[in-house]
């Protein structure tokens, strides 16, 4: 039979394989499991575990079947958007990363595949019950709220208490960055004369990255303002840039880039760096990765930019969005509230991750006052919760990603300038780079036909 096939042997077998594989696909794919009532996708392994453990209680209470899945953010973002635009099947709830909302809201309102939660949030009073500034990351300029914030992530400084005592630093006096830098300059030097600096005051990445943004937000700067206009070309940004350049690249720098992972752990244990940027989630990270320092670490609020100013900032965040085409929006809303605001869940989450709830009502929970042995028995939950109302907002725009990239590039150029010319003409150089970045983003803003405008 093979020989009589007009096209020959190879095509014959290809045809046979084609038929077999199509049949195989139909058999395998055609009979999937019955679709769950709700499908939720988490983008971090820890959230995935937490939700998987929490969901059975919800299922029992509502008599439904909920499926929890995990997907890497890098793969998820672009595919989710094109699936929503193309009308393909989309999960009911998806966790989004901080700053990514703009990507999904760049088009006209009809194209936004996320359910507008503003009515529900207001009806149930969440705009008052949550730390209000956190809603800014998940709202658009026209007043729609597209995701529920998961967290607050206030930032403190974690430090080696024994080192601080040994070096004669009084942390209660470090209430401004000026005081901090002054103390830092005393500390950051070569003590034993081997030509290598023994202690650096603070861990900051040399290329700016997350720390630059965090400091900028603390100082009241923004990438975009509440009305969606470009806001990063400002005196505040210039001041933050200059300050950061001096502390990381200047002749009297006080910062060292300890990186992540093993390198960071080593820096902490060796005492190479004294102070570390510590949002609530990172405080747990230190405890898990460097257990040998248990009892020697402590936390303090950030020094303020101006006396009496804001003593915390923010770093990172997650939000939960509900798909506009979900067949059961009310049930999805209940699940979102359950996973994010249920008291038992929030208590468990704090104990597992040090992350404090974004719901103010929950700050009465006793877990927050528990002394934390790693951080010298300080009640770190309470400390973070006290700072939480001051956490700065972070307004988001469809151009957030581009602005972030341009700002990084502007900073990198400023580093080159600073290394060549130092303080001379630095302010002007920074202005130039920020203006260039602003112009680039402005071009894109002018192109964007559907960017929601402030009413």
Partner 1 sequence: MSSPLSAPSAAPASRPRPSRAPAGVRVRPQERGWAPYAFLSPYLLLTSVFFFVPFLDAIGLAFFETNGPRTRVFVGLANFHFLFTDSTFYRALWNTTVFACASVFVQLPLSMGLAILLNSSKGRLRGMLRLVLFSPNLVGQIFVGILFSTLFTPRYGLINRAFHALFGWGLEVWWLSNPWLVMPALVLTSLWVWVGFNMVYFLAALQGVDRSLEEAARIDGASEWQVFRFVTLPSMRHVTVFVVVTSVIGSYQLFELPLALLHSTEGAGPENSGLTLITYLNNVAFHLGDLGLGSAVGWIAALIIFFVSMIQIRVSRVLED
Partner 2 sequence: MNPTRLVVFAALAVFAALCARSPGRTLIYLRFLLLGLAATVVLAPFAWLLAAIFKDRTVFDEYLFLPPPAEWSSRTLNLDNFRELFRGRPSVHGTAYFWQYVLNSTAYATVSTVLNLFFCSLAGFALAKYDFRGKAALLVLMLGSMTIPSALLLPPLYNMVVDLGMVDSLTGLIVPGMVSAYGIFLFRQACMSVPDEMLDAGRIDGCSEIAIYFRLVMPLVRPMAAAFCLMTFLGTWNSFFTPNVFLQTQKNFTLPIVLYMYVNDYQSNYGVFLAGTALAMLPPMVLFLALEKEFISGLTSGAVKG
Question: Which stretches of the chain bind partner 1, using CB under 8 A?
Answer: 78, 81-82, 85-86, 106-108, 110-111, 443, 447, 449-450
User: Nearer Cβ to partner 2, position 188 or 323?
Assistant: 323
Contact 321, 113 (CB under 8 A): no
From the list partner 2, partner 1, none, pick the one residue 39 interacts with, judged by a Cβ distance below 5 to 8 Å according to partner type.
partner 2
In the complex, minimum distance from the CB of residue 178 to partner 1, in angstroms, rounded to a whole number: 36
Angle at 177 between CA 174 and CA 178, to 5 degrees: 90
How is 69-129 classified by DSSP, letter by letter? EE--HHHHHHHHHHHHHHT----SEEEEETT-HHHHSSS-GGG--BPP-HHHHHHTTHHHH
Residue 358 to residue 149: CA distance in whole angstroms: 7
Binding segment (CB under 8 A) for partner 2, from list 3-11, 108-116, 381-389, 436-444: 3-11
86, 194, 251, 366: which one binds partner 2 (CB under 8 A):
86
Contact 260, 235 (CB under 8 A): no
Sign of CA dihedral 328, 334, 340, 344: negative
In the complex, minimum distance from the CB of residue 88 to partner 1, in angstroms, rounded to a whole number: 11
Token pair recorded at residue 271:
């005492």
49, 59, 65, 70: which one binds partner 2 (CB under 8 A):
70
In the complex, minimum distance from the CB of residue 442 to partner 1, in angstroms, rounded to a whole number: 12
User: Nearer Cβ to partner 1, position 8 or 108?
Assistant: 108
In the complex, minimum distance from the CB of residue 78 to partner 1, in angstroms, rounded to a whole number: 5
Residues 6+ away with beta carbon under 8 Å from 210: 315, 316
User: Nearer Cβ to partner 1, position 26 or 210?
Assistant: 210
Residue 82 to residue 14: CA distance in whole angstroms: 33
Q: Is 2 in the site for partner 2 (CB under 8 A)?
A: no
User: Nearer Cβ to partner 2, position 83 or 370?
Assistant: 83
Q: Residue 228: which region, alpha, beta or left (left: phi > 0; alpha: psi -120 to 50)? A: left
59, 67, 239, 386: which one binds partner 2 (CB under 8 A):
67
User: Nearer Cβ to partner 2, position 22 or 294?
Assistant: 22
Binding segment (CB under 8 A) for partner 2, from list 2-10, 158-166, 294-302, 315-323: 2-10
In the complex, minimum distance from the CB of residue 112 to partner 1, in angstroms, rounded to a whole number: 10
Owner of token pair 């500390």? 187
Residue 141 to residue 126: CA distance in whole angstroms: 18
User: Nearer Cβ to partner 2, position 70 or 440?
Assistant: 70
Other beta carbons within 10 angstroms of residue 162's beta carbon come to 15
Token pair recorded at residue 212:
């630059």
In the complex, minimum distance from the CB of residue 52 to partner 2, in angstroms, rounded to a whole number: 9
Which is nearest to 282 in space by CA: 379, 155, 378?
155
From the list partner 1, partner 2, none, pick the one residue 11 interacts with, judged by a Cβ distance below 5 to 8 Å according to partner type.
partner 2
Beta bridge partners of 70: 42
In the complex, minimum distance from the CB of residue 430 to partner 2, in angstroms, rounded to a whole number: 34
Binding to partner 2 (CB under 8 A) within 34-63 occurs at: 39, 41, 48
Q: Is 446 in the site for partner 2 (CB under 8 A)?
A: no
CA–CA distances in Å: residue 302 to residues 51, 245, 260, 277: 32, 19, 21, 9
Token pair recorded at residue 371:
């002394």
In the complex, minimum distance from the CB of residue 26 to partner 1, in angstroms, rounded to a whole number: 24
Binding site for partner 2 (CB under 8 A): 6-8, 10-11, 14-15, 17-18, 21-22, 24-25, 28-29, 32-33, 39, 41, 48, 67, 69-72, 74-75, 79, 82-83, 86-89, 91
């Amino acid at each position: 039979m093979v020989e009589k096939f007009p096209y020959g042997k190879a095509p014959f077998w290809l045809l046979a394989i084609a038929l077999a594989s199509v049949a195989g696909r139909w058999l395998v794919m055609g009979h999937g499991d019955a679709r769950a009532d709700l499908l939720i996708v988490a983008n971090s392994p820890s959230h995935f575990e937490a939700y998987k453990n929490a969901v059975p209680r919800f299922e029992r209470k509502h008599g439904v079947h909920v499926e929890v899945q995990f997907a890497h953010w890098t793969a998820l973002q672009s595919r989710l958007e094109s699936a929503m635009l193309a009308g393909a099947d989309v999960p009911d709830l998806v966790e989004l990363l901080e700053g990514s909302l703009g990507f999904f809201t760049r088009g006209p309102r009809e194209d936004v595949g996320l359910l507008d939660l503003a009515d529900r949030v207001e009806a149930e009073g969440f705009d008052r019950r949550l730390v209000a500034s956190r809603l800014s990351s998940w709202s658009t300029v026209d007043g729609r709220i597209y995701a529920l914030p998961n967290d607050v992530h206030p930032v403190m400084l974690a430090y080696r208490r024994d080192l601080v005592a040994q070096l004669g630093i009084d942390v209660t006096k470090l209430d401004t960055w000026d005081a901090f830098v002054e103390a830092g300059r005393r500390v950051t030097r070569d003590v034993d004369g081997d030509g290598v600096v023994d202690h650096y005051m603070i861990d900051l990445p040399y290329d700016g990255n997350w720390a630059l943004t965090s400091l900028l937000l603390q100082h009241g700067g923004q990438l975009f303002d509440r009305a969606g206009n470009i806001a990063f070309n400002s005196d505040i940004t210039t001041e933050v840039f200059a300050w950061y350049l001096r502390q990381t690249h200047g002749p009297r720098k006080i910062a060292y880039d300890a990186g992540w992972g093993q390198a960071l752990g080593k820096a902490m244990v060796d005492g190479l760096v004294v102070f570390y940027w510590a949002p609530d989630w990172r405080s747990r990270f230190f405890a898990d990765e460097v257990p040998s320092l248990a009892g020697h670490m402590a936390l303090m609020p950030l020094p303020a930019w101006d006396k009496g100013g804001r003593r915390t900032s923010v770093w990172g965040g997650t939000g939960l969005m509900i798909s506009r085409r979900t067949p059961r929006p009310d049930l999805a809303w209940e699940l979102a509230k359950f996973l994010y605001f249920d008291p038992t869940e929030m208590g468990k989450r704090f104990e597992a991750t040090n992350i404090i709830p974004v719901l103010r009502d929950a700050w009465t929970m006793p877990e927050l006052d528990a002394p934390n042995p790693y951080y010298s028995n300080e009640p770190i939950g309470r400390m973070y919760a006290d700072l939480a109302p001051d956490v700065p907002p972070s307004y988001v725009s469809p151009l957030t990603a581009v602005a972030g990239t341009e700002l990084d590039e502007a900073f990198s150029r400023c580093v080159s300038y600073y290394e060549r010319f130092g303080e001379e003409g630095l302010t002007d150089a920074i202005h130039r780079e920020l203006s260039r970045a602003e112009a680039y983003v402005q071009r894109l803003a002018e192109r964007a036909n559907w960017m929601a405008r402030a009413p």
